[in-house]
Chain A
Amino acid sequence: MSTVAASIKYNGKVVDFPLANPAENEIADEVLHENLARPTTERTKRLKARCRWKHAAAGEFVDAEVRAGIERMRYITEAHKASAGQPEVIRRALGLANILNKSTLVLQQDEFIIGYHAEDPEMFPLYPELAYMAVQDYLMSDYSPQPKDEAAEINEYWKKYSMQAKGERYFTQEELLQMYQVSTMEAPGFATGYNSISPPYETVLQDGLLKRIESAKEKIEHAKKEMQKIPWNATTGLDWIARIDVWKAMIIADEAVINWARRHARLAKIVAENFETNPARKEELLEIAEISQRVPAEPCKGLKDAFQSKWYTYLICHAIDRYASGYAQKEDEMLEPYYNISVKEKSFQPMTHTDVVEMVEMERLKISEHGAGKSRAYREIFPGSNDLFILTIGGTKPGYVDACSDMTDAILEGARNIRTTEPSIVFRWHPVGREKTKRLVFECIRDGLGYPSIKHDVIGTEQLKYYSQFSKNSNGATDEEAHYWGLVLCMSPGVCGRRKTHKTRSEGGGSIFPAKMMEIVLADGFDWSYSGMQLGPHTGDPTTFKTFELLWEAFRTQYAYAISKVIRAKDIMRYFESKFLQMPFVSSIDDGCMELGVDAMELSEQPNGWHNPITTVVAANSLVAVKKLIYDEKKYTMAQLVTALHANWHGYEDMRQDFLNAPKWGNDDDYADAIIKDFYEDIIGGEMAKITNYSGGPVLPVGQAVGLYMEIGSRTGPTPDGRFGGDAGDDGGISPYMGTDKKGPTAVLKSVSKVQKNQKANLLNQRLSVPIMRSVHGFNIWKSYMDAWEQLNIDHVQFNCVSTAEMKAAQKEPEKHQDLIVRVSGFSARFVDIPTYGQNTIIARNEQAFGADDLQYLNTQL
């Protein structure tokens, strides 16, 4: 039987919490999530049942069938050898063309959106031109590409040309060891190949690639005429050489993409005419063939075109030309014009709203079986999912006018109905957003999907305008462009649209770990618990720190050292990307690259620099405990603390309890919050903001944890907040440490709202009471909470709505809980595909109920 929340007394009356859906009274708490899926059609039900999930956990693939393919690495190598001597940007285009011309295409039963990026639907491609260590790791695994000898030979060939070899030359061996172990710093992109991008999908959908090719040809003609001008002027004339090469590369890439899409058209037609026996499916395959013949070559004319053209573009940008995580797009606004054509006007590809919901479900399932050839570090840190896929909806248009539409609703309905871990959704919250859509957002959250996560629309929009002032070519985001934003990955807004989007990870992303830094600050920069090496500068013996301020400054020194190093690594990578890892296809679909003849890896118009502090709250709570117990109350000495930590608190349990019970973040505690606010604004944000990155702007913190709060926790010794060595870190960017927020949900909001300066974004994880959210008052309570959150100017919030009973039942019988989804941090995951360590961190989060005091503060109308 389902649990019903206890009645409370509120505003002088007794409030009961009957379930909104009385039928759920018969469903036990332990199996609730297994009863919530309702695929819109029999087709999406079948597609979900046979979905080829590619979830990873602890660095391994959960499904034994998943393995690396060899075709991509084979064909890019073949092209690289054959193109020696040509301009590098042309070589990159020829590499893409060779992959697209020769690779095996895949078409699966029942699917409408077609296209895959490896030679078998259970495979994923590898990228030897990026990081040789990442490929070597695959070669040593059970899912190595075959034949292994050929793959090893390819990796050996690329070793000297790889981004890793190029980047490593500019760091000492000690620096590389410090970064590669991922304990105070995330390893640089040149050693992992990890990347993120926001493709300018809109040009493909609106213009089509044939028009882009024509533009490039016109540019070349113009350039040639400029070069022929008399008298010759080398100071301007020579600039055309590189630009001509960039435009030529764009043409090669776009023609190859068109041919590749049309190969898919042929495949669908051949299957229809030679293999398919079902007349309805035969007809559908012919329609699929007709669509792939037209797009992405031509502009999209209806919604089916748009879904397909977007998918092809996604595959090239995120998986075939180069690996990139994410699914960045402002999907509702991008698709709305085509929704209107197909659903409202019915003038092309006519369909109903329900048909659109089915399309959304099919797209979600395509993403769910997308394989990412990412390095081991990234197979570890998104446990229970296959990669980060996050799309953005909602928000506002210029003038802060509501941008929600029926397309927004279809995206939410599809997500709610099909229940997949990917892609995650971000909803941009603004008071003008329509309630109909907000109710659908609530239904997804209430059903335990963990998404949409919510971002503050005004903070995100104004932030992009702030960054635009640093534009190197004085062409940063306009007001209109600043309103059209989506998250690049989990947390950080970036411009979407035809121009100025985020093209590579030098601009943002990458992590830094304050909890581990706190540990080494107490050991003169030495890591005694994990690596046994000096991880940072010598900041002194902590027992000689006579004041709290000396400890504070020692931490600042460690932090400043690490953050400058990781941003330097990203910018060095960007330098080499612009010389050897150009992206001619991406350049061809960006209006700025097309206009200026500059490759996307080189051109930066809109700065958007950020880096992710992860486990900040462990360090912050530690500072609070040390200040209180050592410097203010003088109950213990620093020497006693250091001794107890080196013993992992064994023999010092009373002392540990004192440190554990010191004031903690998230309880609206003035003592803790004053220190922690300073910590965020002065050190975490303040030191980062001193940096100027490749794009000419400051770098600001985006606090978020992904699964790194587990990985770093397991590489971090005991800390003064009372943590044992190996325990997980804090799971958000600004979330209270699990189980320590004991004053209710509104106290959390009040604490978090105190941090405002020098921040770009901060992830707030909250776990809500299932019986309250599923009650008749669920929406009203949540809506009043969200309104308060918005007024407090908090950047982000996301929710778990899953019971401890159900998670514990799933730990016992995982096979019976395949549809149990949880929010980890920035992504949602299938609970049973997460290691036990990670599962326990989610169970340990406080389940926030709403008492009368909370409701009073929120002014909830019940």
Chain B
Amino acid sequence: MTTCKNCSFYFAVPEDAGDFEAGKGDCVLEREDAKGKYWLSKPTKNDSASCKAFKKA
């Protein structure tokens, strides 16, 4: 099973961050619609099953 940890859109939360938890990361995805580009960041865990946006790191 591929997990978030192996995804290029997964960014581990630094240890000095206030919301740090072991294995926690930010899933950052680029989106674009008729009004322009934007980026979304959502918390995830490195062992979470990957989603449709998965891209190997």
Contact = CB atoms under 8 A, between A and B. Distances in A.
Interface of A: 50-52, 65, 101-102, 104-110, 119-122, 255, 258-259, 262-263, 266-267, 270-271, 274-275
8 nearest A-B pairs in the assembled complex, by CB-CB distance: A259-B18, A267-B41, A105-B41, A109-B37, A108-B38, A50-B35, A259-B19, A104-B42
A107 B38 contact: yes
A102 B39 CA distance: 16
A121 B38 contact: yes
A27 B14 CA distance: 58
A107 B18 contact: no
A255 B18 CA distance: 8
B4 to A, nearest CB: 14
A108 B33 CA distance: 11
A755 to B, nearest CB: 47
A782 B13 CA distance: 58
B40 A105 contact: yes
Interface of B: 11, 13-14, 17-19, 26, 28, 30, 33, 35-43
Interface SS of chain B: strand
Contact of B39 (A52, A65, A262, A267): A267
Contacts of B30: 275
Nearest to A103: B42
14 contacts: A51-B35, A65-B33, A102-B43, A104-B41, A106-B39, A106-B40, A109-B36, A119-B40, A119-B42, A122-B33, A255-B18, A267-B41, A274-B11, A275-B30
A104 B38 CA distance: 12
A101 B19 contact: yes
Contacts, number: 66
B11 A266 contact: yes
B36 A274 contact: no
A109 B43 CA distance: 21
A101 B33 CA distance: 26
A122 B11 CA distance: 25
B28 A270 contact: yes
Nearest to A258: B18
Given A50-B36, A106-B39, 20 more contacts: A105-B40, A105-B42, A107-B39, A107-B41, A108-B39, A109-B37, A120-B40, A121-B35, A121-B38, A259-B18, A259-B19, A262-B18, A263-B41, A266-B26, A270-B26, A270-B28, A270-B41, A274-B11, A275-B28, A275-B30
From DSSP, what is the main secondary structure of chain A's interface residues?
Answer: mixed
A104 B40 contact: yes
B11 A270 contact: yes
A110 B11 CA distance: 23
A270 B17 CA distance: 15
A2 B15 CA distance: 65
A52 B39 CA distance: 15
A102 B43 CA distance: 6
Nearest to B32: A109
Nearest to A275: B30
A267 B26 contact: yes
A101 B42 CA distance: 9
A119 B40 CA distance: 8
A275 B39 contact: yes
Contacts of B43: 101-102
Contacts of B13: 266
Contact of B37 (A101, A102, A108, A122): A108
Contact of B28 (A52, A110, A119, A274): A274
A390 to B, nearest CB: 26
Contacts of B41: 104-105, 107, 263, 266-267, 270
Nearest to A268: B39
Contacts of A51: 35
Contact of A267 (B17, B18, B28): B28
A416 to B, nearest CB: 25
A508 B30 CA distance: 43
Contacts of B40: 104-106, 119-120
Contacts of A104: 40-42
Contacts of B36: 50, 108-110
Given A259-B18, A263-B19, A266-B17, A109 B38 contact: yes
Nearest to B28: A270
Contacts of B18: 255, 258-259, 262
A119 B27 CA distance: 13
A104 B37 CA distance: 16
A592 to B, nearest CB: 27
B19 A52 contact: no
A734 to B, nearest CB: 41
Contacts of B39: 106-108, 267, 271, 275
B17 A259 contact: yes
A369 B41 CA distance: 19
Contacts of B17: 259, 262, 266
A432 to B, nearest CB: 45
Contacts of A50: 35-36
A263 B35 contact: no
A119 B33 CA distance: 15
Nearest to B21: A101
A323 B11 CA distance: 32
Nearest to A53: B35
Contacts of A119: 40, 42
A726 B26 CA distance: 55
Contacts of B14: 266
A301 to B, nearest CB: 20
Nearest to A293: B17
Contacts of A255: 18
A600 to B, nearest CB: 24
A273 to B, nearest CB: 9
Nearest to B9: A274
Contacts of A122: 33
A275 B17 CA distance: 22
Contacts of B38: 106-109, 121
A255 B42 CA distance: 19
A89 to B, nearest CB: 22
B49 to A, nearest CB: 18
Nearest to A264: B41
A263 B13 CA distance: 9
